[in-house]
Amino acid sequence: MKKIISAKDVEALLRQGKTVDAITADAILTPSAKDLLKSAQPRNAVVTKPATGLSKPVGPISSTSSQSDLDAFFFTEELEELKVQICDVGRRMWERAYVDGNGGNIAIRVADDLALCTPTLVSKGFMKPADLCLVDLEGDQKAGKKKRTSEILMHLEIMKRQPKAKATAHCHPPHATAFAVAGVEPPTCMIPEIEVFIGKVPIAPYRTPGTPEMGKLVADLVDKHNTVLMGNHGAVSWSHQNVEDAYFKMEILEAYCRYIWVASQLGTPLKTMNPEQLKDLLNIKQNLGIPDSRFGLKECELCDNEEWRPGVMCAVPPKGEVNETNKDSNAESAVQAITEQIMAKLGGQ
């Protein structure tokens, strides 16, 4: 006779520190027990592990491993956890309206030449771990029932160009995408968080989504930037840590662009930090190991916001070139001194 598991039974298991694995596969769970189990699991987690019947891969895994090893690797506990994390980030993107329809994609490197990524034509708000795909760095799918995202080439170009890039996230945050459509880079030197965790955000020219050209144009910018706006498209970020950190950059960018947009409606010039204050933030950023194209610049070269306010230059005249302003000033001083001498002599006559 099959055992019936009630909510009280589940509570007792959880108090004892046991997991759902302690529940036999043929047990019958009451509706309240199922609800309790769901609430005790991470969002999008599966209650039972997939019964693949596959053994663990033998030795280091790569794109050239046997298909049986790749399939086994795809269902390892480590990758199952990463799948859950990706699904969680996808839902958060969807809940914040950073994606619509089947837009947006996420990827994470899981071996030297392998990455786990989201599928095509699936809403990020309703992805399941079983929907995800395994691809090599050329975009060839190695495992997964659903077809990989059509924009994976961009993510892979970032990973190939930037060795530190472990995870990537692409979506269409409304305010950030508005800057991308307008072709306006967000100004700098206004909010500490974006300076430390992101920095200057460049815009990659528009190319058809999913094409190698688009991926290469974005990848050209990732050696000095961890977040890039994509002209007439959206935004993409990379992280040296995990998918959640890549997603955090999307939240920071979107919030910042919203602040700037709202502040620009107030009818007064936007106030910025001074270069010395920004340099303090860049020192923090450098200690965290986050890249920034402004490392090494002089203070007077920082906070150059182009369309938002005049840029600051540290131009030094070539050796031997006379500064016309100083020249005029010196001439005026000489004329004034001579005039005073003449007037003194006239006064003494």
Tokens of 1: 């006779």
**pLDDT at residue 56 in the model:** 63
**Residues in Cβ contact with 328 at an 8 Å cutoff, skipping those fewer than 6 apart:** none
| Domains, in order of start, for the chain | 4-40 (no CATH), 47-150 (3.40.225.10), 151-316 (3.40.225.10)
Closest CA to 211 of 168, 148, 152, 169: 152
CA–CA distance, 131 with 213 (Å, rounded to integer): 27
247 within 8 A of 164, measured Cβ to Cβ:
no
Supply the pLDDT for residue 312: 41
Helix (H, G, I), strand (E, B) or coil at 40: helix
| CA 125 to chain centroid | 19
In residues, how long is the chain?
Answer: 349
- Angle between helix 7-15 and 31-40 (nearest 10): 30
Distance CA 305, CA 42 (A): 43
Q: How far apart are the first and last CA of the chain?
A: 132
pLDDT for 38: 63
Task: For residue 162, give Cα distances in angstroms to 37, 155, 205, 220.
Answer: 41, 11, 19, 10
Question: Tell me, what's the pLDDT at 344?
Answer: 66
d(CA 338, CA 317): 30
Residue 303 pLDDT: 76
Count Cα neighbours of 123 within 13 Å in the Cβ-side half-sphere: 9
Say what the pLDDT of residue 24 is. Answer: 65
Q: Which tokens go with 261?
A: 């947009």
The amino acid occupying position 334 is A
- The pTM (predicted TM-score) of the whole model is 0.73
- List, for the chain, all residue ranges whose pLDDT scores fall below the cut of 50: 42-51, 309-327
227 three-class SS: strand
**Distance, CA of 249 to CA of 168 (rounded, Å):** 10
CA distance 6 to 12: 10
What's residue 45's pLDDT? 42
